[in-house]
């Protein structure tokens, strides 16, 4: 296991997780936990495994990308101690909690496929009649090659809300703590980015690890402005403990 605590220590994280678990509302807990990552530096490819390299469990709290950010937040919201966090991170990131490259949840919708006890697809519930459905073969490009070597392409039905259908009714159906996947129109991909919906009696924000050079960190960004010129939205809602 490889750990970079960043601003944390094991004891500080242990204490924080006990305090966070006392927040009973799921959305409020996710807001509290994810808020601790604001201003955390963006860094891609922090996980170590590949088809030729054995996977090691990486805990990097000082640098995240959009997916590892969600990994850490979801594992933390399930945990009341550092020990539980490590155990839950394995369950969130890997199928069956077995740390191996071939078991890693490489795609956003892998969470729904393999972690259905943790999150639920509420895309249609949020999007209403404007919701669309499409069948894709994840990890298979239009020319038949793959995005990720060593990962078997898999057919999957994906529901998404086209950005043109995201009106005030749809916005009102979103909840703080919803996991937002930015739908991708590319063959073989489900999303191009992911973040967390934050609604606190004001503008709706997307809290996410931005790779944009002007940010390159975890930020809160106006959701309506962000989603305007993106293809669409997938919404997963965390289950109650």
Give the CATH number of the domain where residue 145 resides.
Answer: 2.30.260.10
Note whether 105 and 115 are within 8 A (CB). yes
The string of pLDDT tens digits covering residues 136-158 is 999 999 999 999 999 999 999 99
Instruction: Indicate whether 231 and 156 sit together in one domain.
Output: yes
Q: How many domains does the chain have?
A: 2
pLDDT value at residue 202: 83
Final residue of a domain: which of 103, 130, 164? 103
Instruction: Indicate whether 127 and 231 sit together in one domain.
Output: yes
Instruction: Indicate whether 93 and 128 sit together in one domain.
Output: no
CA–CA separation, 74 vs 19, rounded Å? 16
- For residue 93, what are the domain limits? 2-103
Closest CA to 78 of 35, 26, 134: 26
Instruction: Indicate whether 222 and 174 sit together in one domain.
Output: yes
The string of pLDDT tens digits covering residues 209-231 is 999 999 999 999 999 999 999 99
Helix count and strand count (H, E) for the chain? 8, 12
Final residue of a domain: which of 103, 137, 166? 103
Final residue of a domain: which of 68, 103, 138? 103
CA–CA separation, 212 vs 216, rounded Å? 5
pLDDT value at residue 195: 99
2-4 and 58-60 beta bridge pairing: parallel
CA–CA separation, 171 vs 123, rounded Å? 12
- In a domain, residue 109? The reply is no
Instruction: Indicate whether 67 and 34 sit together in one domain.
Output: yes
Q: Where residue 201 falls among pLDDT bands split at 50, 70, 90?
A: confident
- In a domain, residue 108? The reply is no
pTM over 0.95: yes
- In a domain, residue 95? The reply is yes
Instruction: Indicate whether 42 and 149 sit together in one domain.
Output: no
pLDDT value at residue 236: 98
- In a domain, residue 23? The reply is yes
Note whether 108 and 181 are within 8 A (CB). yes
Mean pLDDT of 131-136: 98
pLDDT value at residue 204: 97
């Amino acid at each position: 296991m490889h750990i970079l605590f960043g601003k944390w220590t094991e004891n500080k994280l242990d204490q924080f997780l006990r305090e966070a678990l006392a927040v009973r509302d799921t959305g409020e807990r996710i807001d509290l936990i994810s808020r601790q990552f604001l201003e955390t530096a963006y860094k891609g490819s922090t996980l170590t495994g590949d088809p030729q390299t054995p996977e090691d469990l990486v805990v990097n709290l000082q640098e995240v990308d959009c997916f590892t950010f969600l990994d850490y937040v979801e594992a933390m919201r399930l945990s009341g101690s550092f020990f539980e966090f490590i155990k839950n991170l394995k369950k969130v990131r890997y199928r069956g909690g077995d740390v191996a490259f071939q078991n890693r949840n490489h795609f956003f919708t892998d969470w729904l496929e393999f972690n259905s006890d943790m999150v639920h697809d509420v895309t249609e519930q949020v999007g209403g009649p404007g919701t669309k459905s499409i069948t894709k073969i994840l990890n298979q490009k239009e020319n038949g090659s793959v995005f990720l070597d060593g990962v078997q392409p898999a057919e999957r039905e994906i529901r998404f809300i086209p950005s043109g259908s995201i009106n005030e009714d749809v916005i009102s159906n979103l909840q703080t703590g919803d996991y937002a996947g930015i739908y991708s129109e590319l063959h073989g991909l489900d999303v191009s980015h992911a973040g967390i919906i934050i609604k606190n009696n004001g503008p709706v924000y997307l809290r996410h690890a931005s790779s944009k050079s002007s940010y390159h960190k975890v930020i809160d960004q106006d959701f309506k402005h962000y989603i305007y010129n993106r293809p669409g939205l997938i919404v997963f809602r965390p289950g109650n403990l």
